[in-house]
Amino acid sequence: MSTPHPSTPAWLDQWMSIHVIELWGAADLRDFATPEDAGGQRLPFALSWAIPMNPRIMASIQKGPNQAYADEYARVNDRLNEVARVLAETIESRGFRVRALAASERTDTVNIKGDFPHKTAATRAGLGWIGRHCQLISRKFGSWMRLGTVFTDMALSFGKPIERSFCGRCMRCVEACPAKALQGNAWHPGLEREKILDVSACDRWKKKNYFKYHQGHNCGICSSVCPYGRKVLKRQR
């Protein structure tokens, strides 16, 4: 059970507002193997945030990625990394240990994963749940967003972890996946990624069919058909 911590400092709320971060929260990750700081010590907490993708671009890739999506993917990743860099510098300047997690960086090419799942920090911070397409879904942006994470030892007020799926019986992403990589299982905390996504099948399909988009790192079909994303588009019309 998490130990209560002081409320999130006022300067952090203001910082997020200035940088137009509409969806963010803090996660207690003491029960997880989190990345280490420069001194080799693990960082127990994380700030997690989302930056939305352009809804019209996301709606345009139901049949496969296009150049507009590849450009938007790169733009949002660049912004995530810049926000993470500045936020980490700000936290460190206040005397706390910190480490930023890069967006979309594969540090384990065999198992096709990074140093820590952004989605895990986000679910523990209360931002959303993981859909059958193995992506985070929030009420605000659906899954049409990308995530940033900064680890720290700074005391924070943690969000309430989300511990169940709200996908119901929907299988649209599973049915739309051209690689047949989605297993159709509903997420819950602790469920292995392999029970949701055959990541090797997904990776092979993208590299074979969409290599021209960031060397096969882009697809997005499963996210494009998600009803929670389609709601975002309807709200903007």
**Any idea where the domains of the chain sit in the sequence?**
10-236
d(CA 237, CA 213) in angstroms, rounded, equals: 29
Q: How far is CA 213 from CA 113, 114, 136, 219, in A?
A: 19, 20, 22, 8
Rounded-to-integer distance, Cα 58 and Cα 76, Å: 13
Give the CB-side neighbour count of residue 126, counting CA atoms within 13 A: 10
Nearest-angstrom CA–CA distance, 88 and 232: 30
Q: pLDDT tens string for the chain (237 positions)?
A: 234 345 778 899 999 999 999 999 999 999 999 998 888 999 999 999 999 999 999 999 999 999 999 999 999 999 999 999 999 999 999 999 999 999 978 777 777 788 999 999 999 999 999 999 999 999 999 999 999 999 999 989 999 999 999 999 999 999 999 999 999 999 999 999 999 999 999 999 999 999 999 888 999 999 999 999 989 888 876
